[in-house]
Amino acid sequence: MVRFANKLAPVGGLLALFGSPTVAQDTGNVVVDGTTFALNGDSVSYRFHVDNSTGDLLSDHFGGTVTGNIPTEIVANVHGWVGKPGRVRREFPDQGRGDFRTPAIRIRQTEGYTVSDLQYQSHSVIQGKPRLPGLPATFGTAEDVSTLVVHLYDNYSSVAADLSYSIFPKYDAIVRSVNVTNKGTGNITIEALASMSVDFPREDLDMITLSGDWAREAHRQRRKVQYGIQGVGSSAGYSSHIHNPFLALVDLATTESSGEAWGFSLVYTGSFSVDVEKSSQSFTRALLGMNPNQLSWSLGPGESLTSPECVSVYSNNGIGGMSRLFHRLYRNHLIKSKFATSDRPPLLNSWEGLGYDYNASTIVDLAKESAGLGIKLFVLDDGWFGNKYPRDSDTAGLGDWTPNPAKFPSGLTAPVNQITSLRAAKTSTNLRFGIWVEPEMVNPNSSLYRKHPDWALHAGSYPRTERRNQLVLNVALPEVQNFIINFMTKLINGANITYIKWDNNRGIDETPSPSIDHKYMLGMYHVFETLTTRFPNVLWEGCASGGGRFDAGVLQYFPQIWTSDDTDAMERITIQLGTSLVYPPSAMGAHLSAVPNQQTGRTLPVSFRGHVAMMGGSFGLELDPANIPEEDKAALPGLIELAEKVSPLILKGDMYRLSLPEDSNWPAVLFISEDGSQAVLFYFQISPRINNAIPRIRMEGLDAAAMYNVEGKGVYSGATLMNMGLQFPFDTDVGSVVVFLDKQ
């Protein structure tokens, strides 16, 4: 247990009035001494204290373990325009009073001021972690997590702010959220509220973000933090393909496998903002939270606004170490589904194979073909619904969630029963049936829209911009939430459905007010929570034109998310490895599709396509087996079998990105089981390299002293495999191998 003795002198003046406790409190991982605070994990320390002259919270340390007494920060004398608040490291920077950096909170007071003066008032320590009302959040028992809540108060405006810090010591993770309450008598507006704000005493850091667009998600970007503000965000209403709600700050020298890395992940699905600012004093500030452009949240007397939470982890084992902390934490303490780490049947999705062009009998035929290959879950994608406005293209039907009688004359029940009585080849299990929905959307060409035009998001008489011929329902409205909950309940109860793919194919354009963004999210989370609690045996998959909502908010409810609409295996290596910076591979949907690829036109070997797809937790096929070359079809049963064999390692194992497609012609990933007894190597060649020495790929994370049987290669020590590596010659253009390593 860490102890330290930099006791604050007995406080006088202001602080005495706040009656701060002086008794040291100690829950093992939260240590409070007077008004200094320490959160200690296995390899992380996070420390801050109250500035006794101002009541401000000042940061002391966020990084590797520090113990005992720590030196007091020496602040340069104030010369020039920047006041003392702009020269110190602040835990929760408010606006005004000489800190010219970006604030974590901006409040428009009743009188119109945007100055705040939030001072320490008291704190409390909680074993475990309280839920965040209405928001997704990490969870754990008193054994897993402890929470420190610091209560701040602005005596001039009567605004209270509670900072909540939870530490998951085994994961070196500190989770923060903020709760602001209007204790005054007038209305105030919260214009900005960052969930996490950290001031690093570092002038040289790189920042890493995940950026892209539709079908090009999660491309890793690394750049040096420069003076001024730089950052990413979304104003699309959802977390979006464009930037992910994630940030890593790393030392300039940090690599995949060594060096310091701080990772930040917002547990939120709405518009967000990530700001990194290097100040005149050369400190680096990072802020993550809801996008201030879409907040303007009004609080009447007595009302509170709770921010989403931000998870931060610290690793001294490089970017890979940071990712593994996130993966483990999210698998165990974020994803609520019982399928978080198990039971992901190989599936076949009808979309790329059939599109909208099917009926009950052709669907049953496709299911039979699928079962014959060893597929265990058949997923009927878009196109099954709509009556007056049948869903035969993307121009009509969204909102009318009853089976299209032209395609399903006797409804879904009978064909679904036919499908679920099929036996998957070489198994004793029956095929499961899953279905696609896009509940938050409506086509103007629908009965729903004719009946409830006001349910669609709009701003007065401004034109309602259609994208993909559709509008977004205002999920902030309770009647819309109930509509979705009711039709989904009826659908799932009406047929033997055990998988739902929940899609969302456009961003939000016109809204009646900026705060609708967050109100929509609260409504959407209510719907997710209600349905996933009501149907815990359904395997839920999130999707938003691919990875448009691949975020920790969605993962709370849905254990897997369709990673990208780009199923080209070459592109997918970059997208999946990028996504894995923060999200566990267990959460990724990845499918083997037909060639030439629908997005890129590229033709890759079926084994290469299969190997890339089986690095995702939910492996599947996206094709019509009747329409692919015989030799590809012949390879499918073997690939499905291999996918099932690697699945436990993908779902529960530790992931090591051995080499990256952006750096190497031979990207590689190693997954090691939790107990270290087995590992599987994925190794790829992405373009031909004629007349070139055959490179070596070196393992990581193995037990140096142990012996491993490498499939097809022989028995070698962990040390040899990690320090010398293995060679895999490819005599083709592109190539791939999947190799098991078994500890002897």
Residue with Cβ nearer ligand NAG (447 or 469)? 469
Q: Which of 280, 304, 418, 677 binds ligand NAG (CB under 6 A)?
A: 304
Q: Which of 20, 40, 45, 52 binds ligand NAG (CB under 6 A)?
A: 52
Residue 275 assigned as binding residue: no
Residue with Cβ nearer ligand NAG (14 or 660)? 14
Residue 392 known to be catalytic: no
Q: CA torsion angle for 340, 345, 346, 348 (degrees, to 10)?
A: -110
Q: How far is the CB of 51 from ligand NAG (least distance, A)?
A: 8
Residue with Cβ nearer ligand NAG (162 or 256)? 162
Residues in the chain: 744
Tokens standing for 699? 């393992």
Q: Which of 396, 477, 646, 721 binds ligand NAG (CB under 6 A)?
A: 396
* Bridge partner residues of 471 (DSSP): 442
Instruction: Tokens 């064909």: give the residue.
Output: 415
> Backbone phi, then psi, for 424, in 5-degree steps?
-65, 135
Centre a 10 Å sphere on the Cβ of residue 589 and count the other Cβ atoms it contains. 26
Q: How far is the CB of 321 from ligand NAG (least distance, A)?
A: 31
Q: Which of 122, 127, 496, 673 binds ligand NAG (CB under 6 A)?
A: 496
Stretch that binds ligand NAG, among 210-218, 236-244, 427-435, 563-571 (CB under 6 A): 427-435
Q: Identity (one letter) of the amino acid at 67?
A: T
Residue 33 assigned as binding residue: no
Residue with Cβ nearer ligand NAG (28 or 300)? 300
Cβ atoms 629, 601 nearer than 8 A: no
Q: How far is the CB of 302 from ligand NAG (least distance, A)?
A: 8
Cβ atoms 721, 743 nearer than 8 A: no
Residue 206 assigned as binding residue: no
Q: Which of 181, 265, 312, 567 binds ligand NAG (CB under 6 A)?
A: 181
For residue 515, state whether it binds ligand NAG (rule: CB under 6 A).
Answer: no
Judged by CB under 6 A, the chain residues 68 through 87 that form the site for ligand NAG are 72
Q: What is the DSSP string of 462-525?
A: S----BTTBEEB-TTSHHHHHHHHHHHHHHHHHTT--EEEE---------SSTTHHHHHHHHHH
Q: Which of 29, 45, 109, 179 binds ligand NAG (CB under 6 A)?
A: 179
Residue with Cβ nearer ligand NAG (127 or 187)? 187
User: Rounded to an integer, what distance in angstroms lies between the CA atom of residue 312 and that of residue 325?
Assistant: 10
Compute how many residues bind ligand NAG; rule: CB under 6 A: 34
Residue with Cβ nearer ligand NAG (13 or 601)? 13
Q: What is the DSSP string of 12-36?
A: -HHHHHHT---S-EE-SSEEEETTE
Nearest to 610 by CA among 582, 569, 665, 580: 569
Stretch that binds ligand NAG, among 426-434, 560-568, 651-659, 713-721 (CB under 6 A): 426-434
Stretch that binds ligand NAG, among 312-320, 353-361, 455-463, 613-621 (CB under 6 A): 353-361
Residue 467 assigned as binding residue: no
Residue 382 assigned as binding residue: yes
Residue 503 known to be catalytic: yes
User: Rounded to an integer, what distance in angstroms lies between the CA atom of residue 206 and that of residue 225?
Assistant: 5
Residue with Cβ nearer ligand NAG (242 or 422)? 422
For residue 36, state whether it binds ligand NAG (rule: CB under 6 A).
Answer: no
Cβ atoms 169, 41 nearer than 8 A: yes
Residue 505 assigned as binding residue: yes
Residue 117 assigned as binding residue: no
Q: Which of 235, 359, 598, 709 binds ligand NAG (CB under 6 A)?
A: 359
- Relative to beta strand 499-502, strand 432-437 is parallel
Q: How far is the CB of 89 from ligand NAG (least distance, A)?
A: 15
Q: What 8-state DSSP symbol labels residue 292?
A: G
Q: How far is the CB of 402 from ligand NAG (least distance, A)?
A: 17
For residue 463, state whether it binds ligand NAG (rule: CB under 6 A).
Answer: no
717 CA to centre of own chain: 36
- Relative to beta strand 696-697, strand 678-685 is unpaired
Q: Which of 2, 8, 425, 722 binds ligand NAG (CB under 6 A)?
A: 8
Q: x/- binding map, residues 143-172, to ligand NAG, per CB under 6 A?
A: ------------x----x-x----------
User: Rounded to an integer, what distance in angstroms lies between the CA atom of residue 144 and that of residue 129?
Assistant: 9
- Relative to beta strand 499-502, strand 441-442 is unpaired
Q: Write the Ramachandran bin of 571: left for phi over 0, alpha for psi from -120 to 50, otherwise beta.
A: alpha
Q: How far is the CB of 18 from ligand NAG (least distance, A)?
A: 7
Residue with Cβ nearer ligand NAG (306 or 567)? 306
CA dist 392 to 388, 400, 492, Å?
11, 13, 22
497 CA to centre of own chain: 26
For residue 414, state whether it binds ligand NAG (rule: CB under 6 A).
Answer: no
Residue with Cβ nearer ligand NAG (151 or 743)? 151
Q: How far is the CB of 675 from ligand NAG (least distance, A)?
A: 31
* Max Cα distance, the chain (Å): 84
User: Rounded to an integer, what distance in angstroms lies between the CA atom of residue 453 and that of residue 168?
Assistant: 46
Centre a 10 Å sphere on the Cβ of residue 577 and count the other Cβ atoms it contains. 23
Nearest to 118 by CA among 87, 167, 75, 152: 152
Residue 502 assigned as binding residue: yes
Residue 501 assigned as binding residue: yes
User: Rounded to an integer, what distance in angstroms lies between the CA atom of residue 559 and that of residue 342?
Assistant: 10
Q: How many helices (H) and strands (E) does the chain have?
A: 13, 39
172, 275, 503, 632: which is the annotated catalytic residue? 503
Stretch that binds ligand NAG, among 229-237, 348-356, 428-436, 535-543 (CB under 6 A): 428-436
Q: How far is the CB of 116 from ligand NAG (least distance, A)?
A: 14
Burial label for 141, CB within 10 Å (0-12, 13-18, 19+), is: exposed
Q: Which residues are annotated as a binding site?
A: 214, 381-382, 468, 501-505, 543, 565
Note the residues at the interface with ligand NAG (CB under 6 A): 8-9, 11-12, 14, 17, 52, 72, 132-133, 155, 160, 162, 179, 181, 186-187, 300, 304, 306, 359-362, 395-396, 420, 430-432, 444-445, 469, 496
**Bind-site residues for substrate:** 214, 381-382, 468, 501-505, 543, 565
Catalytic residue set: 503, 565
